[in-house]
Chain A
Amino acid sequence: MLEIKNLHASVDGKTILKGLDLAMGPGEVHAIMGPNGSGKSTLSYVIAGRDGYEVTEGSILFNGRDLMEMEPDERAGEGLFLAFQYPVEIPGVSTMNFLKTSLNAIRAYRGEDELDAMDFLKFVREQTATLNITDELLKRAVNVGFSGGEKKRNEVLQMAVLRPSLAVLDETDSGLDVDALKIVGEGVTSLRSPERSMLVITHYQRLLDYVVPDRVHVLADGKIVASGDAGLARELEEKGYAEFSKAAA
């Protein structure tokens, strides 16, 4: 469902991804771990199609289609979702309105009718209950004044509402207290399904205790330098990245 081959990408003329390969099947959960600055967020931006992230070599296929040909909003319409490491504030736009606008945009892309207001409300309420998100938060402007944990839960809420076929979660577990981690972990796990693949970027084993990955990859200096099963994540947490980074050098 996702097939990345020999991906080279640069930002502002600086090469960050240097020949990355990754293949994921439907319903699979893969984790990516790696030191700060190794290019994890860059990878997520390249997959989502952010301006300024230039692919200089290689390819990304999503359900057999060339992602590079598509605008970011088209990629979202095709079922791609990115939970941001640093969610963005949009003053004056209520979280509820934002959710509705994006859901309807994606439905329109797929040739589906807009959800009517009542159905939408009901649907959102079902999602917010499990994520412990209050109505008060939904009324507030998107991410404005949200705590770190609230921002991350809001990302998971959007994922729950938009039901992507591929979700890239960029450090969705960072900055969460134990309770919030549990909520997010269980929330993400509940969204796991045979139709939904997830690429989970994280520094810690703790999220992977909830969302047990099928594969774990180590990204260092713009390349995947090691891959393994769920056990690799635990190994990394004990030993650190030092020997993998050496391997990359």
Chain B
Amino acid sequence: MAVTQETVQTVQEVEKYKYGFVTDIDTDTAPKGLNEDIIRFISAKKEEPQWLLDWRLKAYEHWLTMEEPDWAKVGYPPIDYQDAYYYSAPKSAEEGPESLDDVDPELLATYEKLGIPLHEQEVLAGVKNVAVDAVFDSVSVATTFKETLAAHGVIFCSISEAVKDHPELVREYLGSVVPYSDNFFATLNCAVFTDGSFVYIPKGVRCPMELSTYFRINAANTGQFERTLIIADEGSYVSYLEGCTAPMRDENQLHAAVVELVAHKDAEIKYSTVQNWYPGDENGVGGIYNFVTKRGACRGDDSKISWTQVETGSAITWKYPSCILQGDRSVGEFYSIAITNNFQQADTGTKMIHLGKDTRSRIISKGISAGKSQATYRGLVKMMPNASDARNYSQCDSLLIGSECGAHTVPYIESRNRSAQVEHEATTSKISDDQLFYCRQRGIGEEEAVALIVNGFCREVLQELPMEFAVEAQKLVGISLEGSVG
């Protein structure tokens, strides 16, 4: 069993980022660096079948031939991929807890501190109807409500477990939306991914509760490469939320996740993200590099995938949740709030690829920049030759706070079908002195006034979040902008 010590609240006084504590826990870590042996080590640790190891190695080989992309409007010193650990797991979780009672109390305490309930009875007593998969560094430490979900035929577990218990599903769908050769960071993820969540909703089932995963990076110098796979079979529905936090450290840490969604005929997946990785300090030191590939395939007719994201953390965010609208009349949505403060950089947006007839997509992006930060919306809407009568509507609004930040909107539109229609609107505004003064005259303090105005600016997106999380997201909007005025 792990030697657990008091969790050290190293940074309580360092205002804003209240998730910046480190959990002092015994970990099992792979040697530093990246090579075939490390990949074999990870695969062996997870007792993976040969086909998965082969797939990882194939990805690694391909990755060696690739170059890091540099087209995004983000700047950072070169990453030394050999100077990081690719596997770190709390020792107590290594064998995999049988039930919540087996989970290291230290880990439970960590999640409690993060406001994530892992005790089912507490969840049941509260207002939230949420099942949680908690991923700590490289492994999933607990998944709640498994039995309740199983009664509906819903599979919700870590991807490592899914590899063992549902190999046929994993083998069929893994890499089917984001192929191993997709892009530099996704390919790296294929080679070294450690854990993540797996969801399967059977035909005709409406998932009875919100599913969520909380990702936590704890170990120093460790990359986190999680892999999430969600499959909604015909006529099913699921709403899934991921939340992310990390301790405050001076070094930058790499997070390169891949998320794949598959929606079959008449199925709907609602995927929400509240990303609050450590953003670095007010001088731009430290923070997470968040290089993520998220993509959903609307495979069947009349299917729907909706991405909602609230991105407030990370030193750098590079992320374009996308929809491939294959099925006729399928619908893709992207609702985004990206907040950057101090020296944060965010290059985020979406891709909507219309393949089927009468497909619809809707993009609502709200970018808020403060301090010396830079935020870019980068979006692609592509109408393929068979996408007759397809429609897209995009609206990108930027709000600037102060005069040292920047907001950029880069919409790419490609239409190869004359009957398809694409509509794009963009605005850039500032919080006006009039608005601030009006609020303050009504007794509202300056920071609260900014939070109120920004929340109003983001309303269209916030209202897309599951109710359980909307309130927290609103608070987060306020917290992320602390110190941005006055």
A-B pairs, top 10 by smallest CB distance, nearest first, are: A92-B456, A102-B442, A92-B459, A93-B456, A76-B443, A106-B443, A88-B438, A72-B440, A105-B443, A73-B440
Answer whether A72 and B452 are a contact pair too, CB < 8 Å, given A102-B442, A109-B443, A162-B443: no
Cβ–Cβ < 8 Å partners of A91 in chain B: 456-457, 459
Bound-complex Cα distance A158 to B438 (A): 12
Q: Is the CB of B442 within 8 A of A51?
A: no
Cβ of A101 within 8 Å of any chain B Cβ, yes or no, is yes
Q: Which residues of the other chain, B, contact A82 by a CB distance below 8 angstroms?
A: 441
Binds A, one of B219-227, B254-262, B429-437: B429-437
User: Least Cβ distance of B458 to chain A in Å?
Assistant: 7
In the assembled complex, B376 has its CB within 8 A of some CB on chain A: no
Are B443 and A73 in contact (CB-based, < 8 A)?
yes
Chain A, residues 38-76, CB within 8 Å of chain B (1/0): the string is: 000000000010111000000000000000000111011
Tell me whether A141 and B456 are in contact (CB under 8 A): yes
Q: How far is the CA of A121 from the CA of B290 in the complex (A)?
A: 43
Assess the B437–A72 pair: CB atoms within 8 A. yes
The yes or no answer to B61 lying at the interface (CB within 8 A) is no
Across-interface contacts of A162 in B (CB, < 8 A): 442-443
Closest to A50 in B: B437
How extensive is the interface on chain B, given as a class? Answer: 20 to 34
Listed by A's residue number, 22 A-B pairs whose Cβ atoms lie within 8 Å are A51-B433, A51-B437, A73-B443, A73-B444, A73-B445, A76-B440, A76-B442, A88-B437, A89-B435, A90-B438, A90-B439, A91-B456, A92-B457, A93-B453, A93-B455, A93-B456, A98-B442, A102-B442, A105-B444, A105-B445, A106-B442, A158-B442
* B464 interface residue per 8 A CB criterion: no
Measured CB to CB, the closest approach of chain A to B334, in angstroms, equals 19
Whether A84 is near chain B, meaning CB under 8 Å from some CB there, is: yes
Chain A residues, CB < 8 A from B442: 76, 98, 101-102, 105-106, 158, 162
Q: How distant is the Cα of A89 from the Cα of B459 in the complex, in angstroms?
A: 15
**B444 x A102 contact (CB < 8 A):** yes
Contact residues in A for B437 (Cβ distance below 8 Å): 48, 50-51, 72, 88
Q: Are B453 and A90 in contact (CB under 8 A)?
A: yes
Instruction: Output the least CB separation between B427 and chain A (Å).
Output: 11
Smallest CB separation, A49 vs chain B (Å): 8
Q: Is A26 an interface residue (CB 8 A)?
A: no
Nearest chain B residue, comparing its CB with the CB of A76:
B443
Chain B residues numbered 437-486 whose CB sits less than 8 Å from any CB in chain A = 437-446, 448-449, 452-453, 455-460
The binding surface of chain B is classed by DSSP as helix
Verify A88–B434 contact, CB threshold 8 A: yes
B438 touches A73 (CB 8 A): no
Give CA–CA (A158, B457) in the complex, Å: 22
Residues of chain A lying within 8 A (CB to CB) of residue B434? 88
Asked if A87 is at the interface (CB within 8 A of a chain B CB), the reply is yes
Question: Binary interface profile of B, 153-168, with partner A (CB < 8 Å = 1, else 0)?
Answer: 0000000000000000
Give the contacts of B408-441 with A (CB-CB under 8 A).
432-435, 437-441
| Contact with A72, one of B441, B456, B458 (Cβ below 8 angstroms) | B441
Query: Given A91-B456, A92-B459, A76 and B433 touching (CB < 8 A)?
Result: no
Chain A residues near B (Cβ < 8 Å): 48, 50-52, 71-73, 75-77, 81-82, 84, 87-93, 98, 101-103, 105-106, 109, 141, 158, 162
| Distance from B284 Cβ to chain A, minimum over Cβ atoms (Å) | 28
A90-B435 contact given A105-B448, A141-B456, CB 8 Å threshold: yes
Residue of A50, A92, A105, A109 with highest tally of chain B CB at under 10 A? A92
Cβ contact within 8 Å between B438 and A101: no
- Expressed in whole angstroms, the Cα–Cα distance for A75 and B445 within the complex equals 11
Shortest CB-to-CB span from A98 to chain B, Å, is 7
A101 & B452 in contact (Cβ 8 Å cutoff): yes
Taken together as a complex, chains A and B put the C-alpha atoms of A109 and B442 apart, in Å, by 12
Q: Which listed residue (B432, B441, B444, B458) contacts A92, Cβ 8 A? A: B458
CA distance A36 to B324 in the complex (A): 60
Of the listed residues A48, A90, A106, A141, the one surrounded by the most CB atoms of chain B closer than 10 A to its CB is A90
Find chain A residues with CB under 8 A from B448 CB: 101, 105
Q: In whole Å, how far is B395's beta carbon from the nearest beta carbon of chain A?
A: 13
Chain A residues, CB < 8 A from B432: 88
CA A48 – CA B433 in complex, angstroms?
Answer: 14
B441 touches A76 (CB 8 A): yes
A70 to chain B, nearest CB (A): 11
For B440, what are the chain A residues with a Cβ–Cβ distance below 8 Å? 71-73, 76
| CB proximity of A203 to chain B, nearest CB, Å | 22
**Max chain A Cβ within 10 angstroms of own Cβ: one of B440, B441, B457:** B441
Residues of A within 8 A of B435 (CB): 88-90
Query: Nearest Cβ in chain B — how far from A170, in angstroms?
Result: 11
Chain A residues positioned under 8 Å from B445 (CB to CB): 73, 105
Instruction: Find out whether the CB atom of A92 lies under 8 angstroms from the CB atom of B460.
Output: yes
Q: Which residue of A lies closest to B445 (CB)?
A: A73
Which of A48, A93, A158 interacts with B452 by CB under 8 Å?
A93
A106 to B440 alpha-carbon distance, docked (Å): 10
The distance from the CB of A138 to the nearest CB of chain B, in whole angstroms, is 15
A75 to B459, CA, bound (A): 29
Nearest CB on B from A119, distance (A): 18
Return chain B residues, CB-CB under 8 Å to A48: 437, 441
Are A77 and B456 in contact (CB-based, < 8 A)? no
Closest chain-A Cβ to B459's Cβ sits at a distance in Å of 4
* CB-CB under 8 A for A90 and B456, given A77-B443, A98-B442, A109-B443: yes
New A-B pairs, 15, CB < 8 Å, besides A51-B433, A90-B453, A106-B442: A48-B441, A72-B437, A84-B438, A88-B435, A90-B439, A90-B456, A92-B456, A92-B460, A98-B452, A101-B442, A102-B443, A106-B443, A141-B456, A162-B442, A162-B443
Nearest B residue to A89, CB-CB: B435
Residues of A within 8 A of B433 (CB): 51-52
Closest chain-A Cβ to B364's Cβ sits at a distance in Å of 12
Complex alpha-carbon distance, A73 and B441, angstroms: 5
**Cα A102 to Cα B433 with chains together (Å):** 18
CB contacts (< 8 Å) of A109 on chain B: these are 443
Contact with A along B63-82 (1 / 0, CB 8 A): 00000000000000000000
Residues of B within 8 A of A73 (CB): 440-441, 443-446, 449
Give the complex CA separation of A89 and B127 in angstroms: 34
Bound CA span A171–B27, Å:
69
Q: Which residues of B contact A105 (CB under 8 A)?
A: 442-445, 448
Chain A contacts of B458 at CB under 8 A?
Answer: 92
Question: Given the complex, which residues of B lie within 8 Å of A52, measured CB to CB?
Answer: 433
Instruction: Give the shortest distance, in Å, between B386 (CB) and chain A (any CB).
Output: 38
Q: Which residues of B contact A50 (CB under 8 A)?
A: 437
Q: Report B5 CB to chain A, min CB distance, Å.
A: 38
Contacts of B455 in A (CB 8 A): 92-93
